[in-house]
Structure 1
Amino acid sequence: MTPLPRHHSIFFLIMRRMRAPLILLIVIIAISVLGLTLAPGVDADGNPHKLSFFHALYFISYTATTIGFGEIPFAFSDQQRLWVLICIYMSVIGWAYTLGTVFALLADRNLQQAFAMQRFVGAVRNLREPFYLVCGYGETGGLICEALDRMGVRAVVVELDEAKVGEIELHSYAADVPAIAADARNPEILKFAGLTHPHCIGVIALTNDDSANLAIAIAARLLAPRLPALCRAESRDTAANMASFGTRHIINPFEKFAEYLGLALHAPNAWHLLGWLTGLPGTAVERHRDPPRGNWIICGHGRFGRLMAQTMEAQAVPVTIIDRQPPPEADQRWIQGDGTGAEALTAAGVDRAVGLVACTGSDVDNLSAAVTARELNPGLFVIVRQNLYVNRALFDAYDADIAVVPSQIIAHECLAILGTPLLAPFLQEVRQRGEAWSAALLDDLTTRYGWSVPMIWSERINLLRAPALQQRLMDGETVRIADVLCSPAGREESLPCTVAYLRRDDDDHVVMPGPDCPLRPGDELLLIGLPEARNALCLTLAYEHTLNYVLTGKDLPGGWVWERIAAHRNRAATARRVLP
């Protein structure tokens, strides 16, 4: 990692600020010592005597710092005492100025930032485990860091708002999260935060400024091209610019929800399945009623409203738009207003509508429109845009059918990409399968694991991740999926997990492989289940003793000594069998 440049040195910063008071103290001490050596005095016998430079320096040193002294080596004359009196007041003035400068320096914002930067850089430099660089600790960044902490993955945060950085220290994360209040658009800051650190495994740009996210994406592409970058972009121009620089994952929360809504309109079970699989780990997912087909009303025709209108028109769903300005498309039905009053909703046909989307940029207006619409039509399916996550108590109290929270959408998408890259192709398969297939799979999985978001992880069969199983497969032994999913605590029981996707190097991928599917070296498995299943499966794949038990039901002796004894007994038994 790149070290701090010279101008960031705290020592030189302090020395520059303390230059004037230190020079003043040196001058005061020098004048005091010189005057004391020149002042006439007498020795014990009354003979004339002057202090040497050493005695004068010694005397001034403890006098100027403590204002307490003894007259050495002989009692002072009146002239010496007069000079000492002047020296005392000069030293008091010098020290008062120096201490005032020190206190002002300690309160100086630049020095505090220098100390914070040095601590931050040291903490990042000392990281010896994989971590993600998270730029932006708003609502989305907080959700990402919390989810990464649950997954046991470290994070480093760069946030412009100093108050939000302080919130990180108050949060009860299992592992320390190094954080700094700085502008992530600065490439030097990104390097200090670990962009080029050997243990950095990805960059996540989640600020609410598209230009800042674009600058982070460009810096990541140029300084660390090997790292995956996940960037938030709410405008299509910014997303196109990021794509031109080779950014691998660009997330637009409004486009992502529009995609999910389109799926919900023609394949609601697939929509429920995707929502269950991409939720935040450990959270409970409630199954909502399916979005009905019929006349819909959209309140607000901004970026989100236009995407909603386009998605519904693509699904042949008639739409009426309520907005203060007419839509650019002349063929769309439009009512002038803001949707918060009954007059505009009635004119839009709320009594005949099946659904309403309140998608303005104001949470208050969205809730007002939703409440008024429900009063006019109690059976209305309501989708409400929640701009600020902190208003969740209000939206929970209203109980909309769907609350569109951009921060949650981005967090879910990021975790689906970061946590298990193999999940993305499986979700694509879900979108392409029929509604009946999705319904059967959703019912089977939720019956086994409930509606809480399950643990989703991947296992690759190789010498690094699964040495015991890899060795057996390379020796030509046939091992099925059902064999490795037996519980190490009792092979009569199966682990609470399901293999959802099997990817092979020869592109022979299998969706929901059966229990009798044989495994091959190099296979990568996507598993869905409970957390305890992951730990048990890791033991089975890595340790020969555990794998042998789940395959044969026999316990091998553990340890080098017992293995040698067992081998000796096997050779002896073999010899007895071959003797006549």
Structure 2
Amino acid sequence: MGRRDRLEQRLALPLALVAAVGAVSTIGYWWLWRPYGASWLEAAYMTFITMTTVGYGEVYPLSPAGRVFTMVTGFAGIASLFYVFGVFMDYLVEMGTSGERRKRQMEKLASGMNEHVILVGLGRVGNQAAEELVQGREPFVVVESDPDRVAWALEHGYTVIEGDGTEDEVLKKAGIERARGLIAATGDDATNLFIVLSARSLNPKLYIVARAEDSSVIAKMKKAGANRVIDPYAIGGRRLANLVLHPAVVDFLETTLRRGGAPISIEDIIISEDSPLVGKSIAELNLNRRYGVVVLAVIRGKETLVSPPAEYVFRPNDQVVIMATVEQLERFVREMEKQEEENQRKRAAKERGER
């Protein structure tokens, strides 16, 4: 509902009271002045100067009853007009302060987020990224400077920080020190480059994905600190070609990569030092039989091992790409997190004992 609609709704009752007082008063003056042959215009004129306290003289003489009627008309008219004025001023004050109040509310929400994603730019590409984050139930904060896009994001329930994503203060309000990832999705390469530079300086561990309209900028963005740089047009072209060449493969990958309701999902996990997977082989863990999880690949440093053998032993910082149903993945992650917390407690207790 827009601001104009809200104002019209608020003014509906007070304006109706003004109209009612005016109509009753006009009929009353016309009836009082029947002996003088007064017209409806003269009665309406008397009503107007009484309600607005203009102070002109009576159009026709008034009896004592007519003067009492005039006093009642004046009181009711002034009260109803002040009611309209009060509602309108209250609306103006609210509109003047709602922007600041909304900003403080959004900043408070963002300050309570950890390990979230910051999405800078809510154009066509940014909208798609936001939808994917929503489907994946991933907490995220939108940074946008366009008031119309900010209003649209608020209507969809997004947490929004209004401002320029190239400014450090705006990124700090979005919680960049606590974020785990940032998506620079504006339509301007120079803006995205500045966003990457600012984000990398504020959080060296942040995983940054940037959009590039010109392929010649990709190398510069990576030097500035972007982990990945995406050319939407190149990806779109490859996808169109692959839909013709390998439609079944594209459909399968879309199904597995789509979150929220997809029967099969592909995820990646990073193995920490306290993970129960450390020091154990794929055969020893028996992930497929126990959890229904299939290990597709392991990324160790710059080396990627596709379909690792059963004797492969996991190490800390390995990035493991796995595939399973959504339910199987959730059960596997819960179990791993539970065992990881237990290992952390044991390590902490051991360190305290050694001291």
Q: Distance in 2 between matches of 1:125 and 1:283?
A: 26
Runs of 4+ in structure 1 deviating by more than 6 angstroms, as ranges, are: 97-102, 262-265
Q: Distance in 2 between matches of 1:221 and 1:459?
A: 22
**Do the aligned residues in 1 keep the contact of 2:107 with 2:161 (CA within 8 Å)?**
no
Please tell me whether residue 483 in structure 1 is matched to residue 293 in structure 2.
no
**Do the aligned residues in 1 keep the contact of 2:282 with 2:312 (CA within 8 Å)?**
yes
Q: Distance in 2 between matches of 1:456 and 1:215?
A: 32
Please tell me whether residue 499 in structure 1 is matched to residue 306 in structure 2.
no
Q: Give the TM-score of the pair, scaled to structure 1.
A: 0.38
Please tell me whether residue 106 in structure 1 is matched to residue 75 in structure 2.
no
Report the secondary structure of 1:486's partner residue.
Answer: helix
Query: Structure 1 residues 242 and 518 mapped into 2: Cα distance closer, same or farther (>3 Å)?
Result: closer
Shift of 1:480: 0.7
Q: Distance in 2 between matches of 1:485 and 1:533?
A: 10
Tell me the equivalent position of 1:276. Answer: 252
CA shift digits 1:430-459 (9 cap, x unpaired): xxxxxxxxxxxxxxxxxxxxxx57311234
Tell me the equivalent position of 2:145. Answer: 160
Report the secondary structure of 2:180's partner residue.
Answer: strand
Tell me the equivalent position of 2:342. Answer: none
Report the secondary structure of 1:156's partner residue.
Answer: strand
**Do the aligned residues in 2 keep the contact of 1:481 with 1:519 (CA within 8 Å)?**
no
* From 198, 202, 211, the counterpart of 1:232: 211
Kindly provide the amino acid, as one letter, of the partner of residue 256 in structure 1: I
Shift of 1:99: 10
Aligned length: 254
Tell me the equivalent position of 2:224. Answer: 245
**Do the aligned residues in 1 keep the contact of 2:298 with 2:305 (CA within 8 Å)?**
yes
Query: Structure 1 residues 530 and 204 mapped into 2: Cα distance closer, same or farther (>3 Å)?
Result: same
Q: Give the TM-score of the pair, scaled to structure 2.
A: 0.58
**Do the aligned residues in 1 keep the contact of 2:161 with 2:170 (CA within 8 Å)?**
no
Tell me the equivalent position of 1:74. Answer: none
Percent pairwise identity: 21
Q: Distance in 2 between matches of 1:525 and 1:218?
A: 29
Tell me the equivalent position of 1:117. Answer: 103
Please tell me whether residue 209 in structure 1 is matched to residue 188 in structure 2.
yes
Shift of 1:460: 4.5
Report the secondary structure of 1:247's partner residue.
Answer: coil
Query: Structure 1 residues 504 and 105 mapped into 2: Cα distance closer, same or farther (>3 Å)?
Result: closer
Mapping of residues 511-522 of structure 1, within 5 Å: 511-514=306-309, 516-522=310-316
Q: Distance in 1 between matches of 2:95 and 2:302?
A: 63
Q: Distance in 1 between matches of 2:219 and 2:169?
A: 25
**Do the aligned residues in 1 keep the contact of 2:287 with 2:293 (CA within 8 Å)?**
no
5+ unaligned residues in a row in structure 2: which ranges? 1-84, 340-355
**Do the aligned residues in 2 keep the contact of 1:459 with 1:525 (CA within 8 Å)?**
yes
Mapping of residues 395-414 of structure 1, within 5 Å: none
Please tell me whether residue 145 in structure 1 is matched to residue 130 in structure 2.
yes
Query: Structure 1 residues 182 and 542 mapped into 2: Cα distance closer, same or farther (>3 Å)?
Result: closer
Mapping of residues 554-565 of structure 1, within 5 Å: none
Q: Distance in 2 between matches of 1:154 and 1:275?
A: 27
Kindly provide the amino acid, as one letter, of the partner of residue 116 in structure 1: R
Kindly provide the amino acid, as one letter, of the partner of residue 114 in structure 1: E
CA shift digits 1:499-535 (9 cap, x unpaired): 111345795x531235x43534435431112111113
**Do the aligned residues in 2 keep the contact of 1:459 with 1:465 (CA within 8 Å)?**
no
Mapping of residues 167-566 of structure 1, within 5 Å: 167-171=152-156, 177-195=158-176, 197=177, 199-260=178-239, 268-269=245-246, 273=249, 276-277=252-253, 280-282=257-259, 454-466=264-276, 469-470=277-278, 473=279, 480=283, 483-487=286-290, 495-504=291-300, 507=303, 509-514=304-309, 516-522=310-316, 523-538=318-333, 541=336
CA shift digits 1:213-259 (9 cap, x unpaired): 23322322333343232221212454454344233322111223344
Query: Structure 1 residues 186 and 541 mapped into 2: Cα distance closer, same or farther (>3 Å)?
Result: closer
**Do the aligned residues in 2 keep the contact of 1:136 with 1:207 (CA within 8 Å)?**
yes
Look at both structures and tell me which one has the larger radius of gyration over its CA atoms.
1
Report the secondary structure of 1:158's partner residue.
Answer: strand
Shift of 1:166: 3.1
Task: Work out which structure has the larger RCO, using CA pairs closer than 8 Å and 6 or more positions apart in sequence.
Answer: 2
Report the secondary structure of 1:184's partner residue.
Answer: coil
Query: Structure 1 residues 178 and 98 mapped into 2: Cα distance closer, same or farther (>3 Å)?
Result: same
Q: Distance in 1 between matches of 2:337 and 2:94?
A: 54
Query: Structure 1 residues 464 and 163 mapped into 2: Cα distance closer, same or farther (>3 Å)?
Result: farther
Q: Distance in 2 between matches of 1:227 and 1:518?
A: 29
Report the secondary structure of 1:204's partner residue.
Answer: strand
Query: Structure 1 residues 102 and 242 mapped into 2: Cα distance closer, same or farther (>3 Å)?
Result: same
Q: Distance in 2 between matches of 1:117 and 1:456?
A: 37
Query: Structure 1 residues 254 and 521 mapped into 2: Cα distance closer, same or farther (>3 Å)?
Result: closer
Report the secondary structure of 1:480's partner residue.
Answer: helix
Query: Structure 1 residues 465 and 165 mapped into 2: Cα distance closer, same or farther (>3 Å)?
Result: farther
Shift of 1:274: 5.6
Shift of 1:131: 0.7
Query: Structure 1 residues 454 and 118 mapped into 2: Cα distance closer, same or farther (>3 Å)?
Result: same
Report the secondary structure of 1:526's partner residue.
Answer: strand
Q: Distance in 2 between matches of 1:505 and 1:100?
A: 64
Q: Return the structure number with greater helix share.
A: 2
Shift of 1:179: 0.8
Please tell me whether residue 134 in structure 1 is matched to residue 113 in structure 2.
no
Q: Distance in 2 between matches of 1:479 and 1:243?
A: 34
